[in-house]
Amino acid sequence: MAKTVAEIQEWLNNPNHIKCILADINYYNGTVEKTINLSTRSYFDTALGVNTEYLAIITGGLSFSESLSTDLRISISYGTLEIENTGGVYDYLLDYIWKRREIVLYIGDASWRKSDFVIIFSGLVDNLVSSGESQLQLTIVDKLESLNETIATRTLKNLTGYSIQSTQEEKILPLLFGEVFNLSPIFVDTGINFDPGPWTAIIKNINSTSSIQVGQTITATNGIGQLYGGTVISCTVLRIIDINTIMYSVTATSRPIPGSITNLIINASPISAISSKTLLIDQVKGTGGPVYKVSDSGLNELVEARDKGAPIDILNNRVASYGEFQLKYSSFGTITCTARSRASSDCNVPAIITNILLNYGTNKLTSTDLDLGNIDSSRAAYKVGIYVTERANILDICNELAKSINCGLYYSLFTINSGIVSKGKLKLVELKAPTTTVNAVELNDSLMLENTLQVSESFTLKPSIKLAYCKNYTQQKEDLALGLNPEVGEIYKDQYWYVEVKDPTLINLYKDSGIVEEEITHLLVTSEAQSEANKRLDLWKTSRQLITATYLPDLLFLQLGESVTIKSNRFNLINGKPGIVYSINRDWLTGFVEVGVLV
Amino acid sequence: MRLIYNNLVDIASSLVADPVGIGSTNNLKNDRKSSVHRFQNLISDTVKYTLTWTTPQLINAIALPATNLLDNSTINVRLFASIGSTSPHTQSGTTFAAKDRLIQLPGNVTLPNYTHFSIGGATKTSIWLPGLATTTQKLEIIMAGTANIDCSRIVCGKYWEPARQVSRGITLGIQDSSESSVTRNGDVYINKTYIRESMQFELQYFTDSDRKQLLDIFRSWGSSNYVYVSVFPDNQNTEISRSYSIYGKSSDISLQYDIVNYYTTSLNLESW
Per-residue pLDDT of chain A (599 residues; tens, 9 = 90+): 788 999 998 898 888 888 899 999 999 999 999 999 999 888 888 877 777 889 888 988 888 888 998 888 888 887 689 998 887 889 999 999 999 899 999 999 988 999 999 999 888 898 999 988 889 999 988 888 778 888 888 888 888 888 876 666 788 899 999 999 999 999 998 887 777 666 666 665 444 454 567 776 755 433 444 454 456 666 777 777 776 666 666 666 666 665 555 555 444 444 444 444 445 565 666 667 889 999 998 999 999 999 988 899 988 888 888 999 999 888 888 999 999 999 999 999 999 999 999 999 888 889 999 999 888 899 999 999 999 998 889 999 999 999 999 999 988 888 888 889 988 899 999 999 999 989 899 999 999 999 999 999 999 999 999 999 999 999 988 778 767 676 777 788 899 999 999 999 999 998 888 888 999 999 999 999 999 999 999 999 999 999 999 999 999 999 999 999 999 999 999 999 999 999 999 998 888 999 999 99
Specify which residues B248 forms β-bridges with. B227, B271
Cβ atoms of A475 and A495 within 8 Å: the answer is: yes
Cβ atoms of A341 and A297 within 8 Å: the answer is: yes
Residue A41, chain B, CB below 8 Å: the answer is yes
* Average confidence (pLDDT) over B213-242: 86
Which residues contact residue A32 at a Cβ distance below 8 angstroms, ignoring those fewer than 6 apart? Answer: none
Q: Is A448 helix (H, G, I), strand (E, B) or coil?
A: strand
Across the interface, whether the CB atoms of A41 and B181 are under 8 A apart is answered no
Across the interface, whether the CB atoms of B22 and A445 are under 8 A apart is answered no
Q: What letters, b where the CB count within 10 A reaches 16 and e where it falls short, cover A44-60?
A: bbbeeeeebbbbbbbbe
Task: State how far Cα A231 lies from the chain centre.
Answer: 44
The amino acid at residue B269 is L
- Contact residues on chain A for B185, CB-CB shorter than 8 A: 444-446
Measured torsion, CA atoms of residues A57, A61, A63, A68, in degrees rounded to the nearest 10: -140
The amino acid at residue A330 is S
* Average confidence (pLDDT) over B163-179: 86
Diameter of chain B measured on Cα atoms: 69
Distance from CA of A10 to the nearest CA of B (A): 13
The HSE-up count of residue A436 (CA atoms within 13 Å, CB side) is: 4
- Residue A168 CA to residue A190 CA, distance in Å, equals 15
Determine which of A10, A21, A22, A42 to mutate to test the interface with B (most B C-beta atoms within 10 Å): A42
Residue A42, chain B, CB below 8 Å: the answer is yes
Please name which of B60, B55, B54 lies closest in space to residue B79, comparing C-alpha atoms.
B60
Among all residues of chain B, which has the CA nearest to that of A592? B191
- Contact residues on chain B for A57, CB-CB shorter than 8 A: 32
Across the interface, whether the CB atoms of B113 and A111 are under 8 A apart is answered yes
Cβ atoms of B237 and B231 within 8 Å: the answer is: no
Name the residue facing A15 among B22, B115, B192 (closest C-beta). Answer: B192
Across the interface, whether the CB atoms of A111 and B34 are under 8 A apart is answered no
Cβ atoms of B229 and B269 within 8 Å: the answer is: yes
Q: What letters, b where the CB count within 10 A reaches 16 and e where it falls short, cover B83-105?
A: eeeeebeebbeeebbbbebeeee
The amino acid at residue A528 is E
Q: Is the link from the previous residue into A270 a cis peptide, with omega within 30 of 0?
A: yes
pLDDT score at A165: 65
Decide if pLDDT at B27 tops 60: yes
Across the interface, whether the CB atoms of A450 and B184 are under 8 A apart is answered yes
Determine which of B184, B187, B192, B272 to mutate to test the interface with A (most A C-beta atoms within 10 Å): B184
The HSE-up count of residue A272 (CA atoms within 13 Å, CB side) is: 6
Whole-number Cα distances in Å, A329 to A190, A191, A532: 11, 10, 42
**What's A149's DSSP letter?**
S
- Contact residues on chain A for B32, CB-CB shorter than 8 A: 56-57, 84
- Residue B133 CA to residue B130 CA, distance in Å, equals 9
Cβ atoms of B188 and B181 within 8 Å: the answer is: yes
- Residue A309 CA to residue A63 CA, distance in Å, equals 57
Q: Is B150 helix (H, G, I), strand (E, B) or coil?
A: strand
Distance from CA of B245 to the nearest CA of A (A): 24
Residue A591, chain B, CB below 8 Å: the answer is yes
- Residue A244 CA to residue A224 CA, distance in Å, equals 20
Across the interface, whether the CB atoms of B189 and A446 are under 8 A apart is answered no
Measured torsion, CA atoms of residues A154, A159, A165, A168, in degrees rounded to the nearest 10: 0
Name the residue facing A450 among B27, B32, B183 (closest C-beta). Answer: B183
Which residues contact residue A190 at a Cβ distance below 8 angstroms, ignoring those fewer than 6 apart? Answer: A163, A290, A291
pLDDT score at A252: 64
Q: What letters, b where the CB count within 10 A reaches 16 and e where it falls short, cover A406-444?
A: bbbbbbbbbbbeeeebebbbbbbbbbbbbeeeeebbebb
CA-based Rg of chain A, rounded to a whole angstrom?
33
Please name which of A252, A247, A251 lies closest in space to residue A214, comparing C-alpha atoms.
A247
- Residue A370 CA to residue A349 CA, distance in Å, equals 13
Across the interface, whether the CB atoms of B184 and A445 are under 8 A apart is answered yes
Among all residues of chain A, which has the CA nearest to that of B21? A51
Task: State how far Cα A157 lies from the chain centre.
Answer: 24
Cβ atoms of A306 and A182 within 8 Å: the answer is: yes
Residue B178, chain A, CB below 8 Å: the answer is yes
- Contact residues on chain A for B35, CB-CB shorter than 8 A: 42, 55-56
Residue B187, chain A, CB below 8 Å: the answer is yes
Which residues contact residue A47 at a Cβ distance below 8 angstroms, ignoring those fewer than 6 apart? Answer: A113, A114, A115
CB pairs under 8 A between A and B: 80
Cβ atoms of B45 and B146 within 8 Å: the answer is: yes
Measured torsion, CA atoms of residues A402, A408, A411, A416, in degrees rounded to the nearest 10: -110
Residue B148, chain A, CB below 8 Å: the answer is no
Residue B195, chain A, CB below 8 Å: the answer is no
- Residue A103 CA to residue A522 CA, distance in Å, equals 35
Q: Is A333 helix (H, G, I), strand (E, B) or coil?
A: coil
Q: Nearest 5 degrees, angle CA A68-CA A74-CA A77? A: 100
Cβ atoms of A155 and A175 within 8 Å: the answer is: no
Name the residue facing B183 among A15, A84, A445 (closest C-beta). Answer: A445
The HSE-up count of residue A47 (CA atoms within 13 Å, CB side) is: 9
pLDDT score at A190: 84
Specify which residues B203 forms β-bridges with. B265
- CB atoms closer than 10 angstroms to residue A197: 18
Task: State how far Cα A531 lies from the chain centre.
Answer: 23
pLDDT score at A210: 47
- Residue A508 CA to residue B126 CA, distance in Å, equals 84
Task: State how far Cα A338 lies from the chain centre.
Answer: 20
Distance from CA of B24 to the nearest CA of A (A): 8
The length of chain B is 272
Among all residues of chain A, which has the CA nearest to that of B121? A18
- Contact residues on chain B for A109, CB-CB shorter than 8 A: 115
The amino acid at residue A479 is D
Which residues contact residue B163 at a Cβ distance below 8 angstroms, ignoring those fewer than 6 apart? Answer: B206, B207, B209, B210
- Residue A123 CA to residue A100 CA, distance in Å, equals 9
- Contact residues on chain A for B179, CB-CB shorter than 8 A: 590
